Amino acid sequence: MNAMLNAALNQIKETSLLLSEDYSDKKTFKKVIEKILVPQKIIKGKISITGKSGKKKTFKAYRIQHNDARGPFKGGIRFHANISEDEVRALSTLMSLKCAVAGIPYGGAKGGVVVDPSKLSKEELKNLSVAYAKFVTPYIGPWRDVPAPDVNTDGRVMSFMLEAYEKKIGQMAPATFTGKPVELGGSLGRTEATGRGGAYVLQSYVKLKKLNIKTSSVAIQGFGNVGYYFAKFVSKLGFKIVAISDSSSGIYSSKGLNIQALSEFKDKGGAFKDFPIEKGMKLISNEELLGLSVTVLVPAALENAITKDNVENVSADVVFEMANGPTTTEADNYLYEKGVDVIPDILSNSGGVTVSYFEWVQNLGGYYWTEEKVNDELKKTITKAFADIDKIKKDKRISYRRAANYLSLKRIIDAMILRGRV
């Protein structure tokens, strides 16, 4: 069992200890937890394509469906050389929790192909996408399992998969995949949704704590899609972003950074280590960024960014997770004991799956929302999720992460009991 799966299962086991006092029928409760620890279905096999050389290429493929008590399975498909069954299982489990905490009617799933897509031609990438869609066709559908893009997949890949799926079943079914291009039924606002949703959560947190936005400083590790849009939106809200980084370097300025200028530089293929430094700015390492004395530290790049080895350097008032799993359990416990709030990824980066849900709703209804409506609905949904978690945090006197896990697991447990699955 790999570390990611072990952590996901431990998360459920630890949370169940908190939840058990809410259920009088301990026997039923125990059975429910045992079921939640195991995926409902593991789909695995091999898919093949003909390479550009004419030779057959074969790849391992997975789709793991964790739990659908609250609605159809939902989760991305990733193309990556280091995918394993344990990793996909862990990610499908975490998707069940994320959908539940966001309050959207989905269960969790995840899929993947063991491949380095950078070594594929455009035609091979298309053929692999088609082969995978055919592989999972018997197990997916608008009311069964709704895949989406993930690592190394995008709207174009979803387009290939949708076409292959619809040909296989003999009818149109755009609600089977989300993260599609707008031209094929994708939702307006989806590209920015994760970053925008995070900004709404941070705005709610600051309002709750009665902090002054204009005097609140922010440091962001990571400037990919999530980091960029999060930076853009929190900057518009009035926060001062004093540091930001990519994989090459970080840039710091106590006066605040111009996010638009940094974005334009990155769009031209530049690395921050080569950014033209102006007066009052300086280059810093990613490790130095994590140790800055700021109001809000935002790990928005890699998992396990804050660990037991560097957590003592963290000087921020709050850690706001925009990456998946950026804080290890040991580091999280240390920060809680120090009185540092950690806003967990399960909530703060759930804007993407929330707008994927809106895309599904629009596809099913055959009616498309304006971008303004998408953003308004996102704000309502994600700020309510934060309020629900904050209430549990206060009532139970636990951390935001434990409160988020408590809420999500309780919703899954209740759905399973109501359905009579135990």
Binding residues: 74, 98, 194, 225, 356
Query: What stretches of 53-154 show up as alpha helix (H) in DSSP?
Result: 85-102, 122-136
Measured CA distances, 210 to 162, 204, 387 (Å)? 46, 10, 15
CA distance 32 to 15: 13
The burial of 80, by beta-carbon neighbours within 10 Å (0-12 exposed, 13-18 middle, 19 or more buried), is given as middle
Examine the residue annotation and report whether 380 is marked as an active-site residue of this protein. Answer: no
Tokens of 220: 């962001």
Binding residues for NAD(+): 194, 225
Give the per-residue SS3 of 18-66.
HHHHHCCCHHHHHHHHHHHCCCCEEEEEEEEEECCCCCEEEEEEEEEEE
Contacts of 251 (CB under 8 A, 6+ apart): 243, 244, 245, 257, 262, 272, 275, 277, 281, 282, 283, 284
- Of 26, 41, 110, 232, which one is the catalytic site residue? 110
Per-residue DSSP letter, 327: B
Q: Name every residue whose Cβ is closer than 8 Å to that of residue 320 and which is 6 or more positions away in sequence.
A: 198, 201, 202, 205, 296, 297, 298, 342, 343, 348
Whether residue 346 contacts residue 405, with contact meaning beta carbons closer than 8 Å, is answered with: yes
Helix (H) or strand (E) holding 259: helix 259-267
Backbone CA torsion sign across 19, 23, 26, 31 = negative
> Which amino acid appears at position 18 of this protein?
L
CB–CB of 181/156 below 8 Å?
yes
> Parallel, antiparallel, or unpaired for β 250-253 and 281-284?
antiparallel
- As annotated, the binding site for substrate includes 74, 98, 356
Residues labelled as active-site residues: 110
